[in-house]
Amino acid sequence: MCGAKAGGPDPSTIKPGETTIQGQVTRDGEPVVGYVRLLDSTGEFTAEVPTSATGQFRFYAAEGTWTVRALVPGGTADRTVVAQQGGLAEVAIAV
């Protein structure tokens, strides 16, 4: 399950007990609009969400090791994140 709001993830919408991966995509310190993909530990595509106008994104995922891939005009960047059951993993992606 995944999702992103037009104005960015609202902290009050984090679901208690859910494993959440969220963050922001930036270039030179400024937010970048594009897409973010979630890939499982084998590199298989799991989900994709658009970033908000402020470069923010959020996924709800199972615990484990994930790759978060930013796909934005002019670049891509990957970050590995380890999500723990019921936890919040913050990811900053600079492209």
Whether 2 has a pLDDT exceeding 60, the answer reads no
Q: How far is CA 74 from CA 16, 77, 84, in A?
A: 36, 11, 32
What pLDDT, on a 0 to 100 scale, did the predictor assign at position 30? 96
Which tens digit of pLDDT belongs to each residue from 5-44?
Answer: 444 555 566 666 789 999 999 999 999 999 999 999 999 9
Q: Yes or no: say if 55 and 89 are a contact pair by the CB < 8 Å rule.
A: no
| Complete domains list, the chain, with CATH | 19-94 (2.60.40.10)
> Any idea which residue has 């993993």 for tokens?
89
Q: How far is CA 9 from CA 43, 58, 71, 75, in A?
A: 25, 6, 18, 23
What pLDDT, on a 0 to 100 scale, did the predictor assign at position 12? 60
32 vs 4, residue with greater confidence: 32
pTM for the whole structure: 0.81
Instruction: Say which amino acid occupies 68.
Output: V
